[in-house]
Amino acid sequence: MGRFLHTFFSPLDFLRAVPQVWNGFQYNIKLMLLAEALVLVLALLVAIVRGLPGRAALPLRAAAIVYTDVFRGTPLVLVIFMILGFSTLNVFGLSSQSLFVDGVIALTLVYTAYVTEVYRAGIESVHPSQRMAARSLGLSYTQALRHVVLPQAIRRVIPPLLNDFIGLQKDTALITVIGLTEAVAQANFYATDYFNYAGLTVAAVFFIILTIPLARFTDHIIKEREKRERAQAV
């Protein structure tokens, strides 16, 4: 037991590992922020495409469905390696020359597929009568979507969106598999240099510190929504 505590929770090694792991953790934060910003926009666009009416939009709807099915069904780590392979081999002219960019692309592709379904569920939760009422007032399909449907849909899906982003924050650690020196990689470097795994504990603490506030904020949003729904029911 004492050996386990010394290996993972040695105070001296914990403090000594903090600067090194923090240098890598900054990459995790940058990956998270950039990927989340891209996912929010791209997932909404894909969700809108999936809901386009008419036969003319069928190819676009089919492409959106294939995209979401493929990337929701493919493990993130495989997507990371595929993006690295495309970049390294210059497949389709894709050559980022940056592991950071490759990581952002992989995270964005996978989480856009997940968040697309969250947006789509929110859009479909808005009663069709509201869309029809907007159209009867002279609004076009796009105007009804923008001014009536999306504002309600986005408010309803904020909690599941935040939960997906909690997952994204943690999954930035998987980028270490392609050699980006983020927090987990730095923790492993520390373990190699000092034969102690306290660096992994430091990395875990950093991720927990980043995740818990967002989790509590998600809980707060859910409780506030429940209060409003109970008040409206009364």
Please name the residue that has the structure tokens 């875990």.
Answer: 204
C-alpha to C-alpha distance for 185 and 187, rounded to whole angstroms: 5
Q: Tokens in use for 133?
A: 């009422």
pLDDT in tens, 139-150: 888 898 998 899
Q: What percent of the chain has pLDDT over 90?
A: 53
Residue 82 Cα distances to 89, 174, 175, angstroms: 10, 14, 12
- Residue 78 pLDDT > 90: yes
From start to end of 75-182, where are the E strands?
Answer: none
201 touches 9 (CB < 8 A): yes
Q: Tokens in use for 93?
A: 């002219």
CB atoms within 10 A of CB 105: 22
Kindly report the pTM of this predicted structure: 0.89
Kindly report the CATH number that applies to the domain delimited by 2-233.
1.10.3720.10
pLDDT in tens, 118-169: 999 999 999 888 888 888 888 888 898 998 899 999 988 988 898 999 999 9
Q: Which of 62-71, 77-86, 180-189, 195-204 has the highest mean pLDDT?
A: 62-71
